[in-house]
Structure 1
Amino acid sequence: MQTSALGAQVDRQGRTTSQVTARCIRFLCFYGALSLAGLNCAIGHAAPQVLTIATSELPPYISKDPQNSFLTELLQEIAKEMGVSIELRFMPWPRCELAVESLQAWATMPYVPTQEREEKFLFSQPLYAKRTVLFYYSKVESDIPKNFTDLGELSRYRLGGVRGYYYESIFSAAGLPLALASSEELNFRKIHAGRVDLVPAVETVGWDIIRRTFSEEDQAYFGTLDSTLDVGYNYLMTSRNYPQTELLLERFNQALNTLQLNGVYRTIAAKYGVLAGD
Protein backbone atom coordinates (compact mmCIF):
# COMPACT_ATOMS: atom_id res chain seq x y z
CA MET A 1 0.00 0.00 0.00
CA GLN A 2 1.32 3.45 -1.01
CA THR A 3 0.23 7.09 -0.56
CA SER A 4 -0.60 9.12 -3.69
CA ALA A 5 0.17 12.76 -4.23
CA LEU A 6 -3.37 13.61 -3.14
CA GLY A 7 -2.88 11.80 0.18
CA ALA A 8 -5.17 8.87 -0.59
CA GLN A 9 -3.80 5.38 -0.01
CA VAL A 10 -3.70 3.08 -3.02
CA ASP A 11 -2.88 -0.61 -3.23
CA ARG A 12 -0.52 -2.20 -5.71
CA GLN A 13 -3.32 -2.40 -8.29
CA GLY A 14 -3.97 1.32 -8.05
CA ARG A 15 -7.23 1.13 -6.08
CA THR A 16 -7.99 3.70 -3.42
CA THR A 17 -8.89 2.83 0.17
CA SER A 18 -12.55 3.76 -0.42
CA GLN A 19 -12.72 1.46 -3.43
CA VAL A 20 -11.25 -1.44 -1.46
CA THR A 21 -13.64 -0.77 1.42
CA ALA A 22 -16.65 -0.72 -0.89
CA ARG A 23 -15.55 -3.98 -2.47
CA CYS A 24 -15.18 -5.59 0.96
CA ILE A 25 -18.64 -4.43 1.99
CA ARG A 26 -20.18 -5.89 -1.16
CA PHE A 27 -18.29 -9.15 -0.52
CA LEU A 28 -19.56 -9.38 3.07
CA CYS A 29 -23.12 -8.55 2.07
CA PHE A 30 -23.09 -11.22 -0.63
CA TYR A 31 -21.86 -13.97 1.66
CA GLY A 32 -24.07 -12.75 4.48
CA ALA A 33 -27.07 -13.15 2.18
CA LEU A 34 -25.92 -16.65 1.26
CA SER A 35 -25.57 -17.57 4.95
CA LEU A 36 -29.03 -16.20 5.76
CA ALA A 37 -30.54 -18.13 2.86
CA GLY A 38 -28.83 -21.27 4.09
CA LEU A 39 -30.17 -20.69 7.59
CA ASN A 40 -33.70 -20.20 6.32
CA CYS A 41 -33.38 -23.36 4.26
CA ALA A 42 -32.17 -25.30 7.30
CA ILE A 43 -35.07 -24.01 9.37
CA GLY A 44 -37.54 -24.86 6.65
CA HIS A 45 -36.21 -28.42 6.47
CA ALA A 46 -35.54 -28.98 10.17
CA ALA A 47 -35.60 -32.60 11.31
CA PRO A 48 -38.94 -33.59 12.85
CA GLN A 49 -39.25 -34.01 16.60
CA VAL A 50 -38.38 -37.55 17.71
CA LEU A 51 -40.67 -39.17 20.28
CA THR A 52 -39.28 -42.28 21.97
CA ILE A 53 -41.77 -44.97 22.95
CA ALA A 54 -40.68 -47.86 25.18
CA THR A 55 -42.39 -51.19 24.56
CA SER A 56 -41.89 -54.96 24.54
CA GLU A 57 -42.94 -58.03 22.60
CA LEU A 58 -46.70 -58.58 22.51
CA PRO A 59 -47.62 -59.79 19.02
CA PRO A 60 -49.84 -59.25 17.13
CA TYR A 61 -50.16 -55.89 18.91
CA ILE A 62 -46.48 -54.92 19.03
CA SER A 63 -43.34 -56.75 17.92
CA LYS A 64 -39.87 -56.23 16.48
CA ASP A 65 -41.24 -58.17 13.51
CA PRO A 66 -43.20 -55.49 11.61
CA GLN A 67 -45.22 -58.20 9.85
CA ASN A 68 -46.78 -59.12 13.20
CA SER A 69 -47.10 -55.69 14.80
CA PHE A 70 -50.37 -53.76 14.58
CA LEU A 71 -49.10 -50.81 16.63
CA THR A 72 -45.95 -50.36 14.55
CA GLU A 73 -48.02 -49.71 11.44
CA LEU A 74 -50.56 -47.60 13.33
CA LEU A 75 -47.80 -45.44 14.84
CA GLN A 76 -46.29 -44.82 11.42
CA GLU A 77 -49.59 -43.28 10.33
CA ILE A 78 -50.00 -41.35 13.60
CA ALA A 79 -46.47 -39.93 13.21
CA LYS A 80 -47.34 -38.67 9.72
CA GLU A 81 -50.44 -36.92 11.05
CA MET A 82 -48.48 -35.38 13.96
CA GLY A 83 -45.50 -34.35 11.83
CA VAL A 84 -43.06 -36.14 14.14
CA SER A 85 -40.79 -39.17 14.07
CA ILE A 86 -41.52 -42.04 16.48
CA GLU A 87 -38.73 -44.32 17.71
CA LEU A 88 -39.60 -47.66 19.32
CA ARG A 89 -37.26 -49.07 21.97
CA PHE A 90 -37.85 -52.66 23.03
CA MET A 91 -37.13 -53.69 26.62
CA PRO A 92 -38.70 -55.85 29.38
CA TRP A 93 -42.11 -54.58 30.50
CA PRO A 94 -41.04 -53.45 34.00
CA ARG A 95 -38.32 -51.30 32.43
CA CYS A 96 -40.84 -49.68 30.07
CA GLU A 97 -42.68 -48.05 32.95
CA LEU A 98 -39.39 -47.01 34.58
CA ALA A 99 -38.16 -45.49 31.30
CA VAL A 100 -41.25 -43.29 31.15
CA GLU A 101 -41.14 -42.40 34.83
CA SER A 102 -37.47 -41.36 34.54
CA LEU A 103 -38.25 -39.38 31.34
CA GLN A 104 -35.93 -41.54 29.22
CA ALA A 105 -38.92 -42.15 26.95
CA TRP A 106 -41.93 -40.01 26.13
CA ALA A 107 -44.36 -42.92 26.46
CA THR A 108 -44.91 -46.66 26.68
CA MET A 109 -47.62 -48.89 25.31
CA PRO A 110 -49.85 -50.79 25.43
CA TYR A 111 -50.81 -50.22 29.07
CA VAL A 112 -53.93 -50.33 31.22
CA PRO A 113 -54.76 -47.52 33.68
CA THR A 114 -54.71 -48.38 37.37
CA GLN A 115 -55.27 -46.09 40.34
CA GLU A 116 -51.55 -46.12 41.14
CA ARG A 117 -50.53 -45.40 37.55
CA GLU A 118 -53.00 -42.56 37.10
CA GLU A 119 -51.29 -40.67 39.92
CA LYS A 120 -48.07 -40.50 37.87
CA PHE A 121 -49.10 -40.93 34.25
CA LEU A 122 -51.49 -39.67 31.59
CA PHE A 123 -53.23 -41.97 29.12
CA SER A 124 -54.19 -41.58 25.49
CA GLN A 125 -57.49 -42.45 23.91
CA PRO A 126 -57.92 -46.25 23.57
CA LEU A 127 -55.52 -47.86 21.10
CA TYR A 128 -57.58 -51.04 20.75
CA ALA A 129 -60.13 -53.21 22.53
CA LYS A 130 -59.16 -56.52 24.12
CA ARG A 131 -60.64 -59.47 25.96
CA THR A 132 -58.56 -61.12 28.68
CA VAL A 133 -59.29 -64.77 29.43
CA LEU A 134 -57.71 -67.65 31.35
CA PHE A 135 -55.88 -70.30 29.31
CA TYR A 136 -55.30 -73.92 30.32
CA TYR A 137 -53.49 -76.92 28.83
CA SER A 138 -54.74 -80.45 29.32
CA LYS A 139 -54.54 -83.70 27.33
CA VAL A 140 -57.41 -85.16 29.34
CA GLU A 141 -60.78 -83.76 30.34
CA SER A 142 -59.96 -80.90 32.69
CA ASP A 143 -61.76 -80.49 36.00
CA ILE A 144 -61.27 -76.73 35.86
CA PRO A 145 -64.71 -75.05 35.73
CA LYS A 146 -65.32 -73.32 32.42
CA ASN A 147 -67.31 -70.60 34.13
CA PHE A 148 -66.77 -68.69 37.35
CA THR A 149 -68.50 -65.73 38.98
CA ASP A 150 -65.78 -65.01 41.53
CA LEU A 151 -62.01 -65.47 41.24
CA GLY A 152 -62.05 -67.14 44.65
CA GLU A 153 -63.56 -70.18 42.94
CA LEU A 154 -60.15 -70.74 41.33
CA SER A 155 -58.23 -70.80 44.61
CA ARG A 156 -57.25 -74.48 44.35
CA TYR A 157 -55.54 -73.98 41.00
CA ARG A 158 -52.00 -72.79 40.37
CA LEU A 159 -52.05 -69.47 38.56
CA GLY A 160 -49.33 -67.92 36.44
CA GLY A 161 -48.88 -64.32 35.37
CA VAL A 162 -46.45 -61.79 33.93
CA ARG A 163 -44.55 -59.53 36.30
CA GLY A 164 -45.73 -55.93 36.17
CA TYR A 165 -49.07 -56.63 34.46
CA TYR A 166 -52.18 -54.77 35.60
CA TYR A 167 -53.97 -57.94 36.73
CA GLU A 168 -51.52 -58.52 39.61
CA SER A 169 -53.67 -56.25 41.78
CA ILE A 170 -56.87 -58.06 40.71
CA PHE A 171 -55.58 -61.45 41.82
CA SER A 172 -54.00 -59.97 44.93
CA ALA A 173 -57.34 -58.46 45.97
CA ALA A 174 -58.92 -61.90 45.53
CA GLY A 175 -56.22 -63.45 47.73
CA LEU A 176 -54.82 -65.52 44.87
CA PRO A 177 -51.02 -65.83 44.52
CA LEU A 178 -49.47 -65.66 41.07
CA ALA A 179 -46.34 -67.49 39.92
CA LEU A 180 -44.83 -64.62 37.94
CA ALA A 181 -42.77 -64.90 34.77
CA SER A 182 -40.96 -62.21 32.82
CA SER A 183 -42.89 -62.68 29.57
CA GLU A 184 -46.11 -64.03 28.06
CA GLU A 185 -44.25 -66.76 26.17
CA LEU A 186 -42.58 -68.06 29.34
CA ASN A 187 -46.00 -68.11 30.97
CA PHE A 188 -47.37 -70.38 28.26
CA ARG A 189 -44.31 -72.63 28.42
CA LYS A 190 -44.98 -73.04 32.15
CA ILE A 191 -48.59 -74.06 31.58
CA HIS A 192 -47.49 -76.47 28.85
CA ALA A 193 -44.95 -78.01 31.22
CA GLY A 194 -47.59 -78.44 33.93
CA ARG A 195 -45.99 -75.98 36.35
CA VAL A 196 -49.18 -73.88 36.53
CA ASP A 197 -52.83 -74.64 35.74
CA LEU A 198 -54.13 -71.32 34.42
CA VAL A 199 -52.58 -68.22 32.89
CA PRO A 200 -54.36 -64.96 32.02
CA ALA A 201 -53.74 -63.38 28.61
CA VAL A 202 -55.46 -61.24 26.05
CA GLU A 203 -57.25 -63.80 23.87
CA THR A 204 -55.64 -62.62 20.61
CA VAL A 205 -52.17 -62.62 22.17
CA GLY A 206 -52.57 -66.03 23.79
CA TRP A 207 -53.58 -67.84 20.63
CA ASP A 208 -50.85 -66.08 18.67
CA ILE A 209 -48.23 -67.35 21.15
CA ILE A 210 -49.67 -70.86 21.00
CA ARG A 211 -49.53 -70.92 17.19
CA ARG A 212 -45.94 -69.63 17.13
CA THR A 213 -44.55 -71.69 20.00
CA PHE A 214 -46.11 -75.15 19.98
CA SER A 215 -46.67 -77.95 17.49
CA GLU A 216 -50.05 -78.42 15.84
CA GLU A 217 -50.60 -81.49 18.01
CA ASP A 218 -49.94 -79.55 21.21
CA GLN A 219 -52.04 -76.60 20.10
CA ALA A 220 -55.14 -78.81 20.21
CA TYR A 221 -54.77 -79.27 23.97
CA PHE A 222 -54.94 -75.58 24.84
CA GLY A 223 -58.24 -73.98 25.74
CA THR A 224 -59.80 -71.01 27.52
CA LEU A 225 -62.40 -70.67 30.23
CA ASP A 226 -65.70 -69.24 29.05
CA SER A 227 -65.78 -66.56 31.74
CA THR A 228 -63.65 -63.52 30.99
CA LEU A 229 -61.20 -61.97 33.41
CA ASP A 230 -61.52 -58.53 31.86
CA VAL A 231 -62.94 -56.75 28.82
CA GLY A 232 -61.48 -53.35 28.14
CA TYR A 233 -58.95 -51.26 26.26
CA ASN A 234 -55.22 -50.68 26.11
CA TYR A 235 -53.62 -47.25 25.93
CA LEU A 236 -50.44 -45.26 25.42
CA MET A 237 -49.06 -44.04 28.77
CA THR A 238 -46.87 -40.95 29.32
CA SER A 239 -45.36 -39.28 32.39
CA ARG A 240 -47.09 -36.20 33.78
CA ASN A 241 -43.61 -34.66 34.15
CA TYR A 242 -42.49 -35.01 30.52
CA PRO A 243 -41.99 -31.56 28.88
CA GLN A 244 -45.15 -30.43 27.03
CA THR A 245 -46.61 -33.92 27.37
CA GLU A 246 -50.21 -32.68 27.55
CA LEU A 247 -49.81 -30.90 24.20
CA LEU A 248 -48.09 -33.93 22.66
CA LEU A 249 -50.80 -36.24 23.97
CA GLU A 250 -53.50 -33.97 22.55
CA ARG A 251 -51.82 -34.07 19.13
CA PHE A 252 -51.47 -37.86 19.41
CA ASN A 253 -55.17 -38.23 20.19
CA GLN A 254 -56.14 -35.91 17.34
CA ALA A 255 -54.03 -37.96 14.92
CA LEU A 256 -55.56 -41.22 16.18
CA ASN A 257 -59.06 -39.76 15.83
CA THR A 258 -58.31 -38.67 12.25
CA LEU A 259 -57.25 -42.23 11.34
CA GLN A 260 -60.40 -43.62 12.92
CA LEU A 261 -62.61 -41.22 10.97
CA ASN A 262 -60.95 -41.75 7.58
CA GLY A 263 -61.01 -45.56 7.83
CA VAL A 264 -57.23 -46.08 7.96
CA TYR A 265 -57.40 -47.33 11.56
CA ARG A 266 -59.97 -50.05 10.82
CA THR A 267 -58.05 -51.19 7.75
CA ILE A 268 -54.88 -51.67 9.82
CA ALA A 269 -56.77 -53.34 12.71
CA ALA A 270 -58.45 -55.82 10.36
CA LYS A 271 -55.08 -56.70 8.82
CA TYR A 272 -53.80 -57.94 12.21
CA GLY A 273 -57.07 -59.36 13.56
CA VAL A 274 -57.28 -56.69 16.26
CA LEU A 275 -60.53 -55.52 17.86
CA ALA A 276 -60.97 -51.87 16.92
CA GLY A 277 -60.95 -49.40 19.79
CA ASP A 278 -63.02 -46.70 18.08
Structure 2
Amino acid sequence: MRLLLACLLLWSTTLHAAVTVRFASLHYPPYAGASLPEEGAMVALLREALAPLGYRVDVEYMPWTRALATQHDTRYAGILALWPRSAGEMVEHAFVPVFVSRVGYFARKPGAAPALTQLSSKRLGVVRGYRYPPVLLASGATLDWASDDLASLKKLAAGRLDYAVLEKAVGTDLLRQALPQQQTSLYWQEPSVVELPLGVGLYADRPGATLLQRRLEQALKTMRTDGRYLALTQRHGVDAYVPPPTAAKAR
Protein backbone atom coordinates (compact mmCIF):
# COMPACT_ATOMS: atom_id res chain seq x y z
CA MET A 1 0.00 0.00 0.00
CA ARG A 2 2.79 2.41 0.92
CA LEU A 3 4.60 1.55 -2.30
CA LEU A 4 1.41 2.27 -4.29
CA LEU A 5 0.96 5.66 -2.59
CA ALA A 6 4.60 6.55 -3.22
CA CYS A 7 4.24 5.68 -6.90
CA LEU A 8 1.06 7.74 -7.17
CA LEU A 9 2.75 10.69 -5.49
CA LEU A 10 5.76 10.43 -7.84
CA TRP A 11 3.44 10.20 -10.86
CA SER A 12 1.42 13.23 -9.71
CA THR A 13 4.56 15.30 -9.09
CA THR A 14 5.97 14.40 -12.50
CA LEU A 15 2.67 15.14 -14.21
CA HIS A 16 2.43 18.62 -12.71
CA ALA A 17 6.11 19.58 -12.95
CA ALA A 18 6.54 22.85 -14.81
CA VAL A 19 8.28 22.85 -18.17
CA THR A 20 10.93 25.60 -18.18
CA VAL A 21 11.11 27.74 -21.31
CA ARG A 22 14.08 30.08 -21.48
CA PHE A 23 14.11 33.30 -23.51
CA ALA A 24 16.82 35.78 -24.39
CA SER A 25 15.94 39.46 -24.22
CA LEU A 26 17.40 42.91 -24.45
CA HIS A 27 17.05 45.26 -21.50
CA TYR A 28 14.05 47.07 -22.99
CA PRO A 29 11.95 49.08 -20.52
CA PRO A 30 9.02 49.02 -20.09
CA TYR A 31 8.76 45.67 -21.88
CA ALA A 32 11.60 43.63 -20.37
CA GLY A 33 14.28 44.16 -17.75
CA ALA A 34 15.56 42.38 -14.66
CA SER A 35 15.05 45.45 -12.45
CA LEU A 36 11.56 46.34 -13.70
CA PRO A 37 8.33 45.56 -11.83
CA GLU A 38 7.39 42.00 -12.84
CA GLU A 39 10.45 42.19 -15.16
CA GLY A 40 8.41 44.32 -17.56
CA ALA A 41 5.18 44.02 -19.54
CA MET A 42 6.32 41.30 -21.95
CA VAL A 43 7.73 39.03 -19.26
CA ALA A 44 4.74 39.57 -16.98
CA LEU A 45 2.35 38.68 -19.78
CA LEU A 46 4.22 35.52 -20.77
CA ARG A 47 4.29 34.29 -17.19
CA GLU A 48 0.63 35.06 -16.60
CA ALA A 49 -0.37 33.40 -19.86
CA LEU A 50 1.80 30.30 -19.63
CA ALA A 51 1.98 29.47 -15.91
CA PRO A 52 -1.52 27.93 -15.79
CA LEU A 53 -0.49 25.71 -18.72
CA GLY A 54 2.47 24.24 -16.88
CA TYR A 55 5.28 26.46 -18.19
CA ARG A 56 7.91 28.28 -16.14
CA VAL A 57 9.31 31.31 -18.02
CA ASP A 58 12.97 32.21 -17.43
CA VAL A 59 14.54 35.26 -19.10
CA GLU A 60 18.21 36.10 -19.57
CA TYR A 61 19.19 39.64 -20.56
CA MET A 62 21.94 40.29 -23.08
CA PRO A 63 22.92 42.49 -26.08
CA TRP A 64 21.22 41.84 -29.42
CA THR A 65 24.18 40.03 -31.01
CA ARG A 66 24.31 37.55 -28.12
CA ALA A 67 20.54 37.18 -28.12
CA LEU A 68 20.55 36.37 -31.83
CA ALA A 69 23.29 33.78 -31.28
CA THR A 70 20.92 31.79 -29.03
CA GLN A 71 19.34 30.37 -32.18
CA HIS A 72 22.30 27.95 -32.10
CA ASP A 73 21.72 27.09 -28.42
CA THR A 74 18.88 24.64 -27.85
CA ARG A 75 18.46 25.78 -24.24
CA TYR A 76 16.58 28.84 -25.53
CA ALA A 77 13.01 28.81 -26.83
CA GLY A 78 13.27 32.23 -28.45
CA ILE A 79 13.82 35.99 -28.07
CA LEU A 80 11.53 38.55 -26.46
CA ALA A 81 10.27 41.97 -27.47
CA LEU A 82 10.97 42.03 -31.21
CA TRP A 83 9.59 43.82 -34.24
CA PRO A 84 8.80 41.44 -37.11
CA ARG A 85 11.79 42.73 -39.08
CA SER A 86 14.16 41.89 -36.22
CA ALA A 87 12.53 38.49 -35.80
CA GLY A 88 13.31 37.93 -39.47
CA GLU A 89 16.98 37.61 -38.54
CA MET A 90 16.12 34.44 -36.63
CA VAL A 91 16.25 31.21 -38.62
CA GLU A 92 13.19 28.95 -38.63
CA HIS A 93 11.17 31.18 -36.38
CA ALA A 94 7.54 31.90 -35.56
CA PHE A 95 6.44 35.37 -34.50
CA VAL A 96 3.65 35.93 -31.94
CA PRO A 97 2.53 39.59 -31.70
CA VAL A 98 1.84 40.73 -28.15
CA PHE A 99 1.86 44.56 -28.00
CA VAL A 100 2.10 47.48 -30.43
CA SER A 101 5.21 49.64 -30.72
CA ARG A 102 4.11 53.18 -31.64
CA VAL A 103 7.03 55.16 -33.07
CA GLY A 104 6.66 58.92 -33.30
CA TYR A 105 7.64 62.29 -31.91
CA PHE A 106 8.10 63.92 -28.53
CA ALA A 107 8.19 67.72 -28.50
CA ARG A 108 8.40 70.63 -26.05
CA LYS A 109 4.82 71.72 -26.73
CA PRO A 110 1.61 69.68 -26.89
CA GLY A 111 0.10 69.37 -30.33
CA ALA A 112 -0.27 67.24 -33.42
CA ALA A 113 2.64 65.41 -35.00
CA PRO A 114 4.09 67.14 -38.06
CA ALA A 115 3.56 65.73 -41.52
CA LEU A 116 6.64 64.22 -43.13
CA THR A 117 6.63 67.09 -45.64
CA GLN A 118 7.06 69.55 -42.76
CA LEU A 119 10.31 68.06 -41.47
CA SER A 120 12.83 69.37 -44.01
CA SER A 121 13.73 72.33 -41.79
CA LYS A 122 13.54 70.41 -38.50
CA ARG A 123 16.15 68.73 -36.32
CA LEU A 124 15.22 65.23 -35.17
CA GLY A 125 16.79 63.29 -32.32
CA VAL A 126 17.51 59.69 -33.28
CA VAL A 127 19.61 56.88 -31.79
CA ARG A 128 22.58 55.13 -33.41
CA GLY A 129 21.86 51.54 -34.37
CA TYR A 130 18.06 51.84 -34.34
CA ARG A 131 16.05 50.84 -37.40
CA TYR A 132 13.82 53.78 -38.20
CA PRO A 133 11.08 53.80 -40.85
CA PRO A 134 12.64 54.64 -44.25
CA VAL A 135 10.07 57.40 -44.84
CA LEU A 136 11.36 59.17 -41.75
CA LEU A 137 15.01 58.92 -42.75
CA ALA A 138 14.14 60.26 -46.22
CA SER A 139 12.09 63.19 -44.90
CA GLY A 140 14.89 65.74 -45.40
CA ALA A 141 15.14 66.50 -41.68
CA THR A 142 18.51 67.03 -40.02
CA LEU A 143 19.23 63.90 -37.99
CA ASP A 144 20.94 64.42 -34.64
CA TRP A 145 22.33 61.06 -33.51
CA ALA A 146 22.49 60.14 -29.82
CA SER A 147 23.76 57.15 -27.87
CA ASP A 148 20.32 56.24 -26.48
CA ASP A 149 16.74 57.45 -26.08
CA LEU A 150 17.43 59.15 -22.76
CA ALA A 151 20.19 61.26 -24.30
CA SER A 152 17.82 62.23 -27.10
CA LEU A 153 15.13 63.35 -24.64
CA LYS A 154 17.70 65.38 -22.71
CA LYS A 155 18.72 67.15 -25.94
CA LEU A 156 15.07 67.89 -26.65
CA ALA A 157 14.55 69.32 -23.15
CA ALA A 158 17.62 71.53 -23.61
CA GLY A 159 16.21 73.00 -26.82
CA ARG A 160 18.76 71.36 -29.13
CA LEU A 161 16.11 69.44 -31.10
CA ASP A 162 12.72 70.14 -32.59
CA TYR A 163 11.56 66.58 -32.02
CA ALA A 164 12.89 63.38 -30.47
CA VAL A 165 11.88 60.19 -32.28
CA LEU A 166 10.95 57.44 -29.81
CA GLU A 167 8.46 54.73 -29.09
CA LYS A 168 5.61 56.22 -27.10
CA ALA A 169 5.80 53.65 -24.29
CA VAL A 170 9.60 53.92 -24.04
CA GLY A 171 9.60 57.73 -23.96
CA THR A 172 6.78 57.89 -21.45
CA ASP A 173 8.56 55.40 -19.19
CA LEU A 174 11.85 57.36 -19.41
CA LEU A 175 10.09 60.59 -18.49
CA ARG A 176 8.48 58.91 -15.51
CA GLN A 177 11.56 57.07 -14.27
CA ALA A 178 14.61 59.11 -15.36
CA LEU A 179 13.33 62.63 -16.12
CA PRO A 180 10.33 63.21 -13.82
CA GLN A 181 10.97 66.96 -13.86
CA GLN A 182 10.31 66.98 -17.62
CA GLN A 183 6.96 65.14 -17.54
CA THR A 184 5.08 68.44 -17.84
CA SER A 185 7.39 69.96 -20.46
CA LEU A 186 7.88 67.15 -23.02
CA TYR A 187 4.88 65.76 -24.86
CA TRP A 188 4.01 62.86 -27.15
CA GLN A 189 2.57 64.01 -30.48
CA GLU A 190 -0.38 62.17 -32.06
CA PRO A 191 -0.58 60.41 -34.42
CA SER A 192 2.37 58.04 -34.45
CA VAL A 193 4.57 57.82 -37.56
CA VAL A 194 4.38 54.03 -37.67
CA GLU A 195 2.87 51.26 -35.56
CA LEU A 196 4.55 47.87 -35.50
CA PRO A 197 3.67 44.63 -33.71
CA LEU A 198 6.02 43.88 -30.83
CA GLY A 199 6.16 40.27 -29.85
CA VAL A 200 7.92 36.99 -29.18
CA GLY A 201 10.17 35.22 -31.65
CA LEU A 202 9.99 31.45 -31.12
CA TYR A 203 12.55 29.06 -32.55
CA ALA A 204 10.43 26.74 -34.67
CA ASP A 205 12.97 23.90 -34.60
CA ARG A 206 12.84 23.40 -30.82
CA PRO A 207 11.02 20.39 -29.35
CA GLY A 208 7.51 21.44 -28.37
CA ALA A 209 7.74 24.78 -30.23
CA THR A 210 4.53 24.31 -32.21
CA LEU A 211 2.60 23.37 -29.08
CA LEU A 212 4.09 26.33 -27.17
CA GLN A 213 3.08 28.74 -29.94
CA ARG A 214 -0.45 27.37 -30.12
CA ARG A 215 -0.90 27.50 -26.35
CA LEU A 216 0.50 31.03 -26.11
CA GLU A 217 -1.78 32.32 -28.86
CA GLN A 218 -4.80 30.70 -27.22
CA ALA A 219 -3.85 32.07 -23.80
CA LEU A 220 -3.59 35.58 -25.27
CA LYS A 221 -7.10 35.23 -26.70
CA THR A 222 -8.37 34.16 -23.29
CA MET A 223 -6.64 37.08 -21.55
CA ARG A 224 -8.15 39.54 -24.03
CA THR A 225 -11.60 38.10 -23.44
CA ASP A 226 -11.49 38.10 -19.64
CA GLY A 227 -9.89 41.55 -19.31
CA ARG A 228 -6.51 40.52 -17.93
CA TYR A 229 -4.67 41.59 -21.08
CA LEU A 230 -6.06 45.14 -20.99
CA ALA A 231 -5.36 45.38 -17.26
CA LEU A 232 -1.74 44.35 -17.82
CA THR A 233 -1.19 46.91 -20.61
CA GLN A 234 -2.58 49.65 -18.38
CA ARG A 235 -0.50 48.51 -15.41
CA HIS A 236 2.73 48.71 -17.45
CA GLY A 237 1.85 51.66 -19.69
CA VAL A 238 2.15 49.84 -23.02
CA ASP A 239 -0.11 49.81 -26.09
CA ALA A 240 -2.40 46.90 -26.81
CA TYR A 241 -2.14 44.87 -30.00
CA VAL A 242 -5.45 44.41 -31.80
CA PRO A 243 -5.41 41.25 -33.94
CA PRO A 244 -6.73 41.74 -37.48
CA PRO A 245 -10.28 40.48 -37.98
CA THR A 246 -10.50 36.86 -39.03
CA ALA A 247 -11.34 36.58 -42.71
CA ALA A 248 -14.91 35.47 -43.27
CA LYS A 249 -15.24 31.91 -44.49
CA ALA A 250 -16.19 31.52 -48.09
CA ARG A 251 -19.80 30.44 -48.56
Q: TM-score range by the shorter chain?
A: 0.7 to 0.9
Structure 2 residue aligned with 1:230: 194
Measured after TM superposition, the shift of residue 274 of structure 1 is 3.1
Structure 2 residue aligned with 1:22: none
Does 1:160 pair with 2:126? yes
Does 1:147 pair with 2:114? yes
Structure 2 residue aligned with 1:60: 30
Measured after TM superposition, the shift of residue 51 of structure 1 is 0.6
Residue 255 to residue 272, structure 1, CA distance change in 2 (3 Å) = same
Structure 2 residue aligned with 1:42: 10
Instruction: Give 1:208-219 correspondences, 5 Å limit.
Output: 208-216=173-181, 218-219=182-183
What SS is found at the alignment partner of 1:45? helix
TM-score (normalizing by structure 2): 0.73
Measured after TM superposition, the shift of residue 52 of structure 1 is 1.0
Contact map agreement 1:68 1:272 (CA 8 A) in 2: no
Structure 1 residue aligned with 2:247: none
Q: Which range moved further: 230-239 or 112-121?
A: 112-121
AA in 2 matched with 1:241: D
Query: What is the alpha-carbon distance in structure 2 between the residues aligned to residue 202 and residue 220 of structure 1?
Result: 18
Measured after TM superposition, the shift of residue 167 of structure 1 is 2.6
Contact map agreement 2:120 2:139 (CA 8 A) in 1: no
Measured after TM superposition, the shift of residue 40 of structure 1 is 5.0
Measured after TM superposition, the shift of residue 187 of structure 1 is 4.2
Does 1:92 pair with 2:92? no
Query: What is the alpha-carbon distance in structure 1 between the residues aligned to residue 65 and residue 152 of structure 2?
Result: 16
Contact map agreement 2:19 2:56 (CA 8 A) in 1: yes
AA in 2 matched with 1:45: T
Residue 180 to residue 215, structure 1, CA distance change in 2 (3 Å) = closer
Query: What is the alpha-carbon distance in structure 2 between the residues aligned to residue 194 and residue 76 of structure 1?
Result: 42
Query: What is the alpha-carbon distance in structure 2 between the residues aligned to residue 276 and residue 95 of structure 1?
Result: 28
Instruction: Give 1:163-202 correspondences, 5 Å limit.
Output: 163=129, 165-167=130-132, 179=145, 181=147, 183-189=148-154, 191-192=156-157, 198-202=163-167
Residue 246 to residue 175, structure 1, CA distance change in 2 (3 Å) = farther
Deviation track 1:194-247 (CA, whole Å, cap 9, x = no partner) reads: 77664322212202201221252x444423444522123211112233333222
Query: What is the alpha-carbon distance in structure 2 between the residues aligned to residue 89 and residue 119 of structure 1?
Result: 17
Residue 162 to residue 51, structure 1, CA distance change in 2 (3 Å) = farther
Query: What is the alpha-carbon distance in structure 1 between the residues aligned to residue 135 and residue 165 of structure 2?
Result: 11
- 1:251 pairs with 215, 219, 224, which one? 215
Q: Which range moved further: 71-80 or 190-199?
A: 190-199
Structure 1 residue aligned with 2:234: 270
Contact map agreement 1:148 1:227 (CA 8 A) in 2: no
AA in 1 matched with 2:236: Y
TM-score (normalizing by structure 1): 0.67
Measured after TM superposition, the shift of residue 264 of structure 1 is 1.9
What SS is found at the alignment partner of 2:232? helix
Between the two proteins, the alignment pairs up a number of residues equal to 236
What residue ranges of structure 2 are gaps of 5+ in the alignment?
Answer: 243-251
Measured after TM superposition, the shift of residue 80 of structure 1 is 2.2
AA in 2 matched with 1:201: L
Structure 1 residue aligned with 2:94: 122
Residue 242 to residue 258, structure 1, CA distance change in 2 (3 Å) = same
Deviation track 1:42-92 (CA, whole Å, cap 9, x = no partner) reads: 342123110112223333333332268333332222122321111122223
Residue 259 to residue 43, structure 1, CA distance change in 2 (3 Å) = same
Residue 269 to residue 194, structure 1, CA distance change in 2 (3 Å) = same
Measured after TM superposition, the shift of residue 276 of structure 1 is 2.5
Residue 174 to residue 243, structure 1, CA distance change in 2 (3 Å) = farther
Query: What is the alpha-carbon distance in structure 1 between the residues aligned to residue 154 and residue 63 of structure 2?
Result: 18
Structure 1 residue aligned with 2:248: none
